[in-house]
Amino acid sequence: MLVSELIDRFEQFAPKHLAEPKDPVGLQLGALSAPVHKVLVTLDVRPEVVDEAIEVGADLIFAHHPMMFHPAKNLDLSDPQNQMYATLLQHGITVYAAHTNLDSADGGMNDWLAEALGLQDLSGMVAGYQEPIYTVTVHVQSVYADAVRLAMVGAGAGQMTHYEGASFEWSGNTWYTPLAGADPELGPEGERNHVEEFGIQARVTESQLATVRSAINDVYPGGHPTIDVSPLAGDGHQYAMGRIGNLPAPMTVRAFAEHCKQVFNVPGLRLIAADETKSVQRIAVLGGDGGKFFKLAQRLGADAYVTGDVYYHTGHDMIAADFPVVDPGHHIESICKPKLTALFKQWATDNNWSLEVVASQLNTDPFTFI
């Protein structure tokens, strides 16, 4: 098995175009064409994690946080970061990172955090990539209409909010004059002719477009039917970082902070609240460094907000806004380790991959509570 097979499947789940601008997601080191037998899933790529990968025999490290946020200025091996790169190359280990694309993916990082908190009725928080959507119209002879329609639907066309496989059809005459090299069955060269055809139209997302085109060509005799593609403005699926949802029942700010401490298994956290007895139920959560989005969370109706790396002066602003914030740290994103491990194992089963997947057992949180 090649690294590219796993990555191609993963990028269907969390495409790189979901990432925030300038976020260095994707291949970090090595080659997608490299063989892979064992994957180590981690939050961070640190020297101790590389040692762990070597110890367990992993030839791919799959991380949430990019190994290279900034380019190396030199390859001086007295720098621990550079030495880590050299060690990875020496042992033939490929490194791949999925950062804000995993944060925004449906069923990804922020859904996992919301699930851990027990939030219900989720919606997105920080709007990101909106997938373009198109209408695809195919003109075919009536005898091929059923086959083409079913091929389009089978490839995913026609998905709507409460329906699937939706399409619109109409019939009419297509007039034409055959030129040299045209299909002789459609009339003599140079003579004006017409044929009765069906128009079949369905909605298709950008990610489905190539598959739908291929499916149409596969069932249409001779291939290359007339296909018209038109964009629909502002109508595609909206991806977002962060989630907002409801706790099953209200609780005080203090009780909610204790709940966060328990579900994320952290020895300590920072609570920013003017009144710890205040009742909260609608909660916003954004993994990582999300302090700058607290006003958005409040504007969207959240009673409290869970995020990491809150800055000192931002904390003052939260107090002034009377908006409780729980900061359990950045490391809560380590929830990705068991989640991605389970996902990769399921894909290995589904695709009959000869692949072993293990989660890193190391805690890469740089902070110790004393």
Joined tokens for residue 89: 């190359």
Cα–Cα separations (whole angstroms), residue 25 to 14, 50, 103, 207, 282: 11, 19, 12, 19, 32
| 70 annotated ligand-binding residue | no
Contact 305, 323 (CB under 8 A): yes
| 237 annotated ligand-binding residue | no
Q: Where are the beta strands (DSSP E) in 206-337?
A: 226-232, 238-252, 270-272, 279-289, 304-308, 325-327
| 194 annotated ligand-binding residue | no
Residues ≥6 apart with Cβ < 8 Å to 207: 12, 15, 131
Cα–Cα separations (whole angstroms), residue 17 to 41, 104, 211, 295, 337: 22, 10, 18, 26, 22
For residue 97, which phi and psi values (nearest 5 degrees)? Answer: -130, 135
| 103 annotated ligand-binding residue | yes
Joined tokens for residue 99: 């950062």
| 91 annotated ligand-binding residue | no
Measured in residues, the chain has a length of: 370
Contact 197, 137 (CB under 8 A): no
Contact 299, 255 (CB under 8 A): no
CA distance 143 to 155: 20
The packing angle between helices 253-263 and 109-117, to 10°, is 120
CA distance 152 to 135: 12
DSSP at 146 = H
Residue ranges for the known binding site for a divalent metal cation are 64-65, 103, 330, 333
From the annotation, which residues make up the binding site?
64-65, 103, 330, 333
